[in-house]
Amino acid sequence: MGEQQNDDGIVLTEAQKRARRSRSLAIAFALAALVVLFYVMTLVKGPAILIRPI
């Protein structure tokens, strides 16, 4: 239901493709934001970022 199954495997409907694309983009943005966050925090905290009191 919701997709066609044939000898080539599962074929996504347009709605499923759109949903998957939006999720993939959201994950990509989140990962990019995480990279930027770590970079900026490293600049903020300086090179000894992990050498600090608990």
Partner 1 sequence: MSLVSAGADLRGPLASSRSAEPSLATVGDYIALMKPRVMSLVVFTALVGLAVAPGSLHPVTAFTALLCIAVGAGASGALNMWYDADIDAVMTRTARRPVPMGRIRPGEALAFGLTLGSFSVVVLGLLVNWVASTLLAFTIFFYVVIYTIWLKRSTPQNIVIGGGAGAFPPMIGWAAVTGSLSLEPVLLFLIIFFWTPPHFWALALYRTEDYARAGIPMLPVVSGDASTRRQILLYTLILVPLGIAPWMFGYTGALYGITAVLTGAIMLTLGWQVLRENRPAERASRNLFAFSILYLFLLFAVLLVERGWGGLITRLAA
Interacting residues with partner 1 between 6 and 45 (CB under 8 A): 10, 12, 15-16, 19-20, 22-23, 25-26, 34, 37-38, 40-41, 44-45
Q: How far apart are the first and last CA of the chain?
A: 53
Bridge partners, residue 9, by sequence: 6
What's the rounded Cα separation, in Å, for the pair 49 and 43? 9
* Cβ at position 14, least distance to partner 1 in Å: 11
Where are any strands of DSSP class E within the chain?
A: 4-6, 9-11
Distance, CA of 51 to chain centre: 29
* Cβ at position 50, least distance to partner 1 in Å: 7
Residues that bind partner 1 (CB under 8 A): 1-3, 10, 12, 15-16, 19-20, 22-23, 25-26, 34, 37-38, 40-41, 44-45, 50, 53-54
